[in-house]
Structure 1
Amino acid sequence: MKVALLVNPAARAGSHSGAGAEAAEILRARGIRTTIISGGSAAESRELLRTAVEMGTDAVVVAGGDGTVHLAIQEVAGTGIPLGIIPAGTGNDFASTLGLKELDVSAAADTIASGRTRAIDLARVTRTDGTTTFFGSVLASGFDSKVNDRANAMRWPRGGSRYNIAILVEFLTLTGIPYEVELELGDGTREHVTGDLVMATVGNGRTYGGGIPICPDADPTDGLLDVVLVRPAGRMRLLRLLPKVYKGTHASVAEVSIRLVRSVRLSSPGVTAYADGDPIGALPLTVDVVPGALTVFSP
């Protein structure tokens, strides 16, 4: 097996070259030809990866976090080329979706060397200009995208705790945002939601922000996406909602509604959406599920 191992030194959490080199050594010891590729920017890394795919690599491995995984997904989605992950990022939410988040470099590399794969769904974002992007975990818009804005701008602390701090700071100025949401439900019926929302989130996976289970029952193999809508309420009531969000029990709160959908269109003025932790585009955006679009190495 020939493997292209992508390492992105430009990732926010810093260089992952150590994890990448260790993983490459383990894979080579298992008889897997492994070539490390790394660009000085996301665009350069993606171009190098695209070349590796065109030249016939048997698999792609990422040593990094959600942003680097997101980059790789764009090149391997729909190709049947399996994707492996060495979790080495800040949040590692997509690795969590695959049951890889807690694995060290050696165990993650062994998962790839075992050759066991499975197919999972991806979500596809379509912008107003017709361009598309895939994501694997969660798309956030509204309050949670503002949290991402703030967390990304923070130099301290590193790790998932910065999301917790960003949540508390953004909560101080929390207001409802006018939305229009068009849903195609799993049974093919349609639903139209208008009015103020605190946030509108679309999940292929369960977690974002380094493990927050915003879509607690999302299943990346069910051919559906989970849409979580949160309506405004008093600030103290929403503050009491936060512990439920961290436990994944917020579906029981009256202001929260969760829908299983084939597709959803989100519209709101001045709102930027994030997917897999990175900005994906300004609303309006349409998100639909692509069943079985990604093959992954799985424990």
Structure 2
Amino acid sequence: MSSPPREVALVTNPLAGRGRGARAAAAALPTLRAAGVRVRSLTGGDADETLQLARAAVAEGVDALVVCGGDGLVHLGAQVVAGTDTPLGVIPAGTGNDAARSLGLDQRDDAAAAVAAARVVAAGRTRRIDVAETAGRRFVTVLAAGFDARVNERANQMRWPRGQMRYNLATLTELRVFRPLPYVLELDGTVLRTDAMLVAVGNGPAFGGGLRITEGARIDDGLLDVVIIEPITKTDLVRTYPKLFRGTHVHHPAYRHHRVRQVTVAAPGIVAYADGERIAPLPLTITVEPSALTVLVP
């Protein structure tokens, strides 16, 4: 338990969740101010400017960095405060909100949820969680390194349609051409060679708005959860997809699960994504940083 913050920097992505970011910030601000919290509102023109504004506010000594948006904004906040004593607060207002879900925050899309999250910030209760690191970037949820990453990459190259439909179309397009890939993984020094549909490295259990791909992963156990889905038919992949929301895909015979402190993932033609953000092409080495991030929690 830490003391309630006196001043916070509130970073907002007004476009998050098709405008939910702006609406959530408007609902949260009066609650924070009523609790006696001074608020610096920060909104950059792009991710780089937002990152610089957040870093400047933390350097000037705000008591907490609070992000109002989705997993992408949580990802940005982790780059700023992981490895420091400045806590990160989250007001969920994105499409997926998987990081916020792992912290036990209200996921409803309404003003009441934003007010509840603001009260969590004002109360000042903290918890330390792990982050994962790769290619000089920290991430909080899951790194995608297979079929799912190819869908993200294809969707980012499309100009139409917008929103979730873009990802639906990218999924259908990628499904027609995707083939299992040859992977080489080094799991805490042990080399594994296998063909797979995807490899996911989880700090937390879910990505993509509640897809529990790394079911069982804990954000404070000092370990990474590496999930491998070995080759399955496209029909089987489509049938298995709904099970990801319940975490019951773990019973599929093609499912493999390893817990490690470090993993190197190599496969041809894959650009990895983490927290929904484009990271870098494989190969990548991912390590865990135990208890590196202080977060504000209910």
> 3-state SS of the aligned residue for 2:145?
strand
**In the alignment, is residue 170 of structure 1 matched against residue 170 of structure 2?**
no
Aligned equivalent of 2:286: 287
2:118 alignment partner, one of 84, 96, 109: 109
Aligned equivalent of 1:187: none
Q: Residues 235 and 15 (structure 1 numbering): CA distance in 2 closer, same or farther, change over 3 Å?
A: closer
1:216-246 C-alpha deviation (Å, 9 max, x unpaired): 1010011101100111123333333223323
8 Å contact from structure 2 (residues 16, 95) kept in 1 = no
8 Å contact from structure 1 (residues 8, 40) kept in 2 = no
**In the alignment, is residue 31 of structure 1 matched against residue 36 of structure 2?**
yes
8 Å contact from structure 2 (residues 120, 297) kept in 1 = yes
Q: Residues 42 and 240 (structure 1 numbering): CA distance in 2 closer, same or farther, change over 3 Å?
A: same
Residue-pair matches, total: 288
Q: Which runs of 5+ in 1 are unaligned?
A: 185-189
Residue 35 of structure 2 aligns to which amino acid in structure 1? R
Residue 151 of structure 2 aligns to which amino acid in structure 1? V
Q: Residues 254 and 150 (structure 1 numbering): CA distance in 2 closer, same or farther, change over 3 Å?
A: same
TM-score normalised according to structure 1 size: 0.90
8 Å contact from structure 1 (residues 24, 36) kept in 2 = no
1:80-107 C-alpha deviation (Å, 9 max, x unpaired): 1111111111111111111114251110
Q: For 1:43 and 1:207, locate their aligned partners in 2 and report how far apart those are by CA, in whole Å.
A: 26
Q: Residues 286 and 51 (structure 1 numbering): CA distance in 2 closer, same or farther, change over 3 Å?
A: same
Aligned equivalent of 1:73: 78
2:101 alignment partner, one of 96, 101, 105: 96
CA shift at 1:155, angstroms?
Answer: 5.2
Q: 1:1-299, aligned counterparts within 5 Å?
A: 1-9=6-14, 11=16, 13-14=18-19, 16-102=21-107, 104-125=113-134, 127=135, 132-152=136-156, 153=158, 156=161, 158=163, 163=167, 166-184=170-188, 190-299=189-298
Q: Which runs of 5+ in 2 are unaligned?
A: 1-5
Please identify, of 87-96 and 8-17, the stretch whose mean Cα deviation from structure 2 is larger: 8-17
Residue 21 of structure 2 aligns to which amino acid in structure 1? H
Residue 95 of structure 1 aligns to which amino acid in structure 2? A
Residue 231 of structure 1 aligns to which amino acid in structure 2? E
8 Å contact from structure 2 (residues 196, 230) kept in 1 = yes
CA shift at 1:27, angstroms?
Answer: 0.4
> 3-state SS of the aligned residue for 1:172?
helix
* Aligned Cα root-mean-square deviation (Å): 2.0
Please identify, of 7-16 and 17-26, the stretch whose mean Cα deviation from structure 2 is larger: 7-16
Q: For 1:8 and 1:246, locate their aligned partners in 2 and report how far apart those are by CA, in whole Å.
A: 26
Aligned equivalent of 2:3: none
Identity among equivalent pairs (%) = 47
CA shift at 1:194, angstroms?
Answer: 1.3
Q: For 1:59 and 1:293, locate their aligned partners in 2 and report how far apart those are by CA, in whole Å.
A: 15
Q: For 1:242 and 1:154, locate their aligned partners in 2 and report how far apart those are by CA, in whole Å.
A: 26
Q: Residues 236 and 21 (structure 1 numbering): CA distance in 2 closer, same or farther, change over 3 Å?
A: closer
Please identify, of 215-224 and 5-14, the stretch whose mean Cα deviation from structure 2 is larger: 5-14
8 Å contact from structure 1 (residues 10, 42) kept in 2 = no
TM-score normalised according to structure 2 size: 0.90
Q: For 1:179 and 1:85, locate their aligned partners in 2 and report how far apart those are by CA, in whole Å.
A: 35
Residue 84 of structure 2 aligns to which amino acid in structure 1? T
Q: For 2:59 and 2:8, locate their aligned partners in 1 and report how far apart those are by CA, in whole Å.
A: 13
Q: Residues 101 and 194 (structure 1 numbering): CA distance in 2 closer, same or farther, change over 3 Å?
A: farther
Q: Residues 12 and 284 (structure 1 numbering): CA distance in 2 closer, same or farther, change over 3 Å?
A: farther
Please identify, of 14-23 and 204-213, the stretch whose mean Cα deviation from structure 2 is larger: 14-23
Q: Residues 154 and 14 (structure 1 numbering): CA distance in 2 closer, same or farther, change over 3 Å?
A: farther
